[in-house]
Structures are given as structure tokens and as C-alpha cells.
Amino acid sequence: MPVGVYRKRTKNGQWMHFRDGKLISKSSYDSSKSRKKRTNSKPRKASNNKKNNSRRNMKRIPHPSVSGLASLAIIGSWINSKSGWTATQPSKDSVTGWLMQGNVDRAGKRLAENLKSSVTSSGGQKALIGSILVATGGTVARKLIPNVKLGTDKWYLRI
């Protein structure tokens, strides 16, 4: 509810006068305006501006970053098989290979081994550092050139 003295134009072009959200007469409006001279205050915003309300109520669509997806792929490939990127067919000793064979227990054990080795082995540490560098590079690029987008106006990926 707006506070103060203001007026709104009706559909037929006449003015309605209000004080603190309650309808008042034109003479009361004029006398209030003549007593109170506003010099440094901002003008009252229209509360029925549909464009602003629709923009405010619109849900934001998340736009993933390409660099974040790339760093996720680096970590995911190491966790899948200790050797990193593999051929298009998953090897039989990888987590996805065991899952495709239906051996969930073996896949879980392999996943735990690969997670442990990603921190302890030098190859796993290189994969983690590489993914951090890719994500950091994407963050720096987004800060330097924020308007670069890959895709359409509504559905796109950031750097």
C-alpha cells in the first residue's frame, strides 16, 4: 500500500485521489499538496506496472557453464576408471562397465577405490588440479567477458 498523497488515472481518463491508500476528495488532495512541497524526494512508482511485475515474478533459468561441465567431466572420467578418458566403449574394469554388467556391488567397490586413489595417487591429483584450473579459468573468463554465451537467447551455456 503506497504511503502519502497521490493520484491515479482511471480508465475513462478521470483522476482518483488517495491518501495512504484511501480515497479522498480533490480539494483535500489539493490542500495536502499545497501544504507539502516535495523538492528532493523520488517520484512514486506505479504499483500496477505489469512489465515490471512480470519481470520480477519470472523464474530464473539456470545456465550451466561450459568450463564447469568440463571440470566435472575430468573428475568423472577419473572416478570411472583410474586411467582418465577411455574409448567410446567403457572398459570392463571401469565403474560403468561393472554397472552395465549388472554387478552393482563390484561397481560400488570400484567407485570407492577410485575416489580414494583420486586423492592419494599422483594421476588423481593431476586430474583434480586440472579440473580446478579449468573451472578457475572459466570463472576468470566470465568476469572479464560476461556477455559471451553459446546457444539461443533463452537456452544457452556460459563460458
> Residue 34, Cβ neighbours under 10 Å: how many?
8
pLDDT at 36 over 90: no
Instruction: Give the domain extent around 106.
Output: 66-158
> Rounded mean pLDDT of the chain?
77
CA–CA separation, 99 vs 113, rounded Å?
Answer: 15
Give the number of domains in the chain: 2
Domain shared by 43 and 119, yes or no = no
Domain shared by 53 and 122, yes or no = no
- Between these two residues, 55 and 18, which has the higher pLDDT value? 18
Dump pLDDT digits (tens) for 39-74. Answer: 566 666 655 555 555 555 555 655 677 788 888 888
pLDDT at 35 over 80: no
Domain shared by 75 and 47, yes or no = no
- Between these two residues, 100 and 41, which has the higher pLDDT value? 100
